[in-house]
Amino acid sequence: MEIKKEFEIFSEKALTDKGWQEVENAWHFALNYELREGHWYKKRASDGDSVAGFAIDPKTLLYKIGPIGRDHFSAKLDLSEEVCDKAPGAGLEETESRIVDGRLAIVPNYSRPLIMVVGMWLFEPGAKEMLDRLEGHILNEGLGFPIRGIHFKKDPALFRAS
């Protein structure tokens, strides 16, 4: 099935309480959390053997996926260097500050990886438009299911940006 149709079905299900609970549980499981007495606890310091770092540049839409189960920050650093190399005069500090960090999780029984972008930029003016653009690109590239936008649709109070 084509990813956009598959994502549409996934999103509709995830917008239900039960569906979102399944997504959250799958995400936490992939990140090596375990559910005990109704709370999620880290099993160990690693983000998980099924997780890779993910980074995307909102300006160029270049992206990097790091190695699964290892350094989850390397994708952002590698992408920052690549963007600097392709744009002479671009400073590493400026470039690195605009790169959006995230995680990609391989989840058992899901047909596609889940991708979540993170960062304080999500609470700045214009963030919704940028999130829509980044998640649209993630889908267009067939990388996986972006779940941050679903999270904000499910709980709009989380998304305070204009």
DSSP letter for each residue of 54-74: EEE-TTT--EEE--TTS-TTH
The CA distance from 113 to 90, in Å, is 32
List strand residue ranges (DSSP E) for the chain, in order: 33-36, 39-42, 51-56, 63-65, 100-105, 114-118, 145-146
Beta-ladder partners of 52: 104
Query: Which positions of the chain have pLDDT values less than 70?
Result: 44-48, 158-162
| Domain definitions of the chain by residue range | 3-158
41 bridge partner residues: 34
Question: What CA–CA distance (Å, rounded) separates 134 from 93?
Answer: 21
